[in-house]
Amino acid sequence: MSHVAVVTCAGENVDPDSPLLLRALEDCGLEASLCIWDDPTITWSNFDLVVVRSTWDYAARRDKFLRWARDREQLVNPYEVIEYSSDKHYLADLARRGHRVIPSQFCDVGDTPIFPDDQFVVKPCVGAGSMDVERYRADEQERARAHVLALHARDRDVLIQPYLESVDTVGERALIFIDGLFSHAMTKGAMLNVQALDRNALYRREQMSRAQPEPEALEVAKALLHEGGFGDLLYARVDLVFTDDGWALMELELVEPSLYLSFDEHAARRLSEGIVRRLA
């Protein structure tokens, strides 16, 4: 019997998708274990496949996480994809390739930030969820500058983007792909309208709802994946936001995105079947 590691981070009930996936894998005749990525007691060679899922604490120590991923055989998503997608500098690469991307200004460690004249967002280039992310008004540049400097002091590059009003009205669209095919879509409500301390896991979960994807949004997501060479991954999530020019990429989540398996009764089964195919 093949043995699959479903990889997470330390904590209690970190990911509500984990029990669903473990059960679906067992239903497919596999042995499955939930494993913490930096647990030194785990012998990774005991597993036939290592599936990265909810490693949400890696942001402040990406180098260590990448060393761990590079040393894993039979890793999905593969190391090269994890390295690329774990740093939001990939947005500049996708924009250069002609994809519609939210205007993104990078302020790497040592650089001086330049802020838009309207509402904007400051976020680390390596981050998970809405941690260390803040929304600012145009007259709050000093506070934003202090935020940038604090991130730089922790050796973290920064991304500055305009805040789009459609996030408050339409929300973001999270389009989830499993084993190369579109699975389901979610609407992500505004996350930055409350203080950071209030953006706990329950709050973030409550901001999510099932969505019927707009045809243009789905086409944009498919083009991003297939033209970027990501069309055959086990899982991917494309987060889009509506702009004056149409749907544009906010983030391309290929490392450890929430897949919201509980919002689609067949999603866990599709994901487990994709894992079985990679063991064949």
Domain match, 95 and 178 both: yes
DSSP the chain: --EEEEEE-SSSS--THHHHHHHHHHHTT-EEEEEETT-TT--GGG-SEEEEEE-TT-GGGHHHHHHHHHT-SSEES-HHHHHHHTSTTHHHHHHHTT--B---EEE-TTPPP---SS-EEEEESS--TTTT-EEE-TT-HHHHHHHHHHHHHTT--EEEEEPPTHHHHT-EEEEEEETTEEEEEEEE--STTS-GGG--HHHHHHTEEEE---HHHHHHHHHHHHHTT-TT-SEEEEEEEEETTEEEEEEEE-SS----GGGSTTHHHHHHHHHHHHH-
Q: What is the mean pLDDT of the chain?
A: 93
Q: Residue 60: give its domain's CATH number.
A: 3.40.50.20
Domain match, 170 and 233 both: yes
Domain match, 187 and 55 both: no
Domain match, 223 and 241 both: yes
Q: State the total domains in the chain.
A: 3
The model's pLDDT over 258-270, given as tens digits with 9 standing for 90+, comes to 999 999 999 999 9
What count of residues does the chain have?
280
Cβ contacts of 111-114, under 8 Å, gap ≥ 24: 113/144, 113/145, 113/148, 113/158, 113/160, 114/160
The answer to whether residues 185 and 260 touch, using CB atoms and an 8 Å cutoff, is no
Domain match, 134 and 78 both: no
Determine, yes or no, domain membership for 272.
no
**Can you give the pLDDT at residue 208?**
81
Domain match, 96 and 197 both: yes
Determine, yes or no, domain membership for 276.
no
In the listed set 23, 51, 86, which residue is the last one of a domain according to the structure? 86
**Can you give the pLDDT at residue 201?**
55
Determine, yes or no, domain membership for 277.
no
Q: Residue 221: give its domain's CATH number.
A: 3.30.470.20
Q: Please check the confidence at residue 2 and state whether its pLDDT lies above 80.
A: yes
Determine, yes or no, domain membership for 217.
yes
Tokens (6 digits) for 155: 């050796």
Determine, yes or no, domain membership for 35.
yes
Domain match, 96 and 226 both: yes
Domain match, 20 and 55 both: yes
Domain match, 96 and 37 both: no
Domain match, 54 and 42 both: yes
In the listed set 86, 113, 145, which residue is the last one of a domain according to the structure? 86
Determine, yes or no, domain membership for 172.
yes
The model's pLDDT over 155-203, given as tens digits with 9 standing for 90+, comes to 999 999 999 999 888 889 999 999 999 999 999 875 555 455 444 454 4
Domain match, 170 and 247 both: yes
The answer to whether residues 138 and 147 touch, using CB atoms and an 8 Å cutoff, is no
Residue 112's domain comprises 105-162
Q: What percent of the chain has pLDDT over 70?
A: 94
Rg (CA), the chain: 19
Determine, yes or no, domain membership for 121.
yes
In the listed set 140, 162, 184, which residue is the last one of a domain according to the structure? 162
Assessment of whether the complete model's pTM goes beyond 0.85: yes
Determine, yes or no, domain membership for 271.
no
Domain match, 233 and 95 both: yes
